[in-house]
Every structure is written in structure tokens, then in C-alpha cells.
């Protein structure tokens, strides 16, 4: 019985200490906000005073263009803050079903990509795609170059008139 009472008193003291500490942290944060009450630009110093740490998590689905990545921002004296706009909202059953179908499709496409990557088909496709893209780029460059040659803006060295090298003459005033 005595042990239970002492355990309870320790938890009450811990709770009171935690409350007091969080109150002081809140006061410090409010003082920091008051310090930067009117500002037009956010400086590195201000960020360092407000932000304790930023955690960037690994992407949920690697190799996918359409994926989410969690970023956690911990503020000094406050801890992790999630803005109300980013809070999870309850979905209707129709929205949940639509989201489930979308995720299933993403997973299926990702598994197909991983299979293609494992058997080498993805690399073959990338090489064909890059060759087509390079050929298209070279054709566009050649068209621009031909247009510039017609206008007299661009010429190749082989098209310049051939001239023999000449010795430069140096005037007496320039030699001094």
C-alpha cells in the first residue's frame, strides 16, 4: 500500500514538473514570437531560433514519380507541430475505395517496374528512349544551325576563306 502511494506521489510530482516545464517552454516560445513580431523576410538566424530539427523520411515508394514523402518539423519549445490543414481528415467510404484502388494501381505499376528493372528490360527501354531523345535533340540543333548559316550568323571553320598566316607588324610606339 505504501509503495502504491509513493508511486502515485512520484507520478503526480512528475506530472506537475512536466506541466511547469511546458508552461516555461510556452512562455519562451511566445517571447521569441514577440521578438520577431513584425518581419518581412525570414533570415537564417530566425530559422535557427525557431526550428529545433527537421526530419525527412524515406520516400514511401522508390522509383515512382507520384509518391509521398513525410517531413517532420520540430520547433524549439513546442515540439512537432502539424498544421490543421495537414491533419488527416475522415474519408467517406467512396473516397476510401477510390484511394484504395489508386494505391493498388500504384503498387501494381511499381511491381512491374521492379520486374522490368530486374530482368534488364527497363535498361533496354531507357537506352532506346535516350537514343530517340538524343536524335531528336540533334535534329533540332541541326535545323537551328542551318537557319543560322542562312542568316550568316553561324559558319564552320571549313567554310571560311583559306588564308596564309601573316606576320604581324609592330609599330615603334607599340613596341615601347
Q: In tens digits, what is the pLDDT along the chain, a chain of 176 residues?
A: 444 444 445 555 555 555 566 667 777 777 777 777 766 777 788 778 888 888 898 887 776 677 778 888 888 877 787 777 777 788 899 999 999 999 899 889 888 988 999 999 999 999 999 999 999 999 999 999 999 989 988 888 888 788 887 887 777 666 55
- In this predicted structure, what is the pLDDT of residue 63? 65
- Exposure string of 144-171, with b = 16+ CB inside 10 Å and e = fewer, is eeeeeeeeeeeeeeeeeeeeeeeeeeee
Question: CA–CA separation, 146 vs 139, rounded Å?
Answer: 10
- In this predicted structure, what is the pLDDT of residue 10? 52
- In this predicted structure, what is the pLDDT of residue 22? 64
Predicted TM-score of the model (pTM): 0.42
- In this predicted structure, what is the pLDDT of residue 140? 97
- In this predicted structure, what is the pLDDT of residue 95? 92
- In this predicted structure, what is the pLDDT of residue 144? 93
- In this predicted structure, what is the pLDDT of residue 90? 87
Pairing of strands 51-56, 71-75: antiparallel
DSSP conformation letters of 70-82:
-EEEEETTTEE--
Q: Would you list the domain boundaries of the chain? A: 1-87
Amino acid at each position: 500500500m505504501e509503495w502504491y502511494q509513493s508511486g502515485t506521489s512520484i507520478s503526480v510530482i512528475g506530472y506537475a514538473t512536466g506541466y511547469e516545464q511546458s508552461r516555461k517552454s510556452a512562455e519562451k516560445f511566445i517571447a521569441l514570437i514577440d521578438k520577431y513580431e513584425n518581419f518581412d523576410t525570414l533570415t537564417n538566424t530566425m530559422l535557427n531560433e525557431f526550428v529545433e530539427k527537421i526530419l525527412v523520411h524515406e520516400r514511401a515508394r522508390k522509383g515512382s514519380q507520384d509518391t509521398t514523402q513525410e517531413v517532420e518539423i520540430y520547433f524549439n519549445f513546442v515540439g512537432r507541430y502539424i498544421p490543421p490543414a495537414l491533419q488527416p481528415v475522415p474519408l467517406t467510404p467512396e473516397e476510401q475505395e477510390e484511394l484504395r484502388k489508386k494505391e493498388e494501381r500504384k503498387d501494381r505499376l511499381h511491381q512491374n517496374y521492379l520486374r522490368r528493372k530486374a530482368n534488364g528490360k527497363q535498361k533496354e527501354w531507357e537506352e532506346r528512349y535516350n537514343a530517340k531523345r538524343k536524335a531528336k535533340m540533334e535534329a533540332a540543333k541541326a535545323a537551328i544551325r542551318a537557319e543560322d548559316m542562312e542568316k550568316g550568323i553561324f559558319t564552320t571553320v571549313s567554310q571560311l576563306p583559306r588564308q596564309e598566316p601573316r606576320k604581324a607588324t609592330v609599330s615603334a610606339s607599340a613596341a615601347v
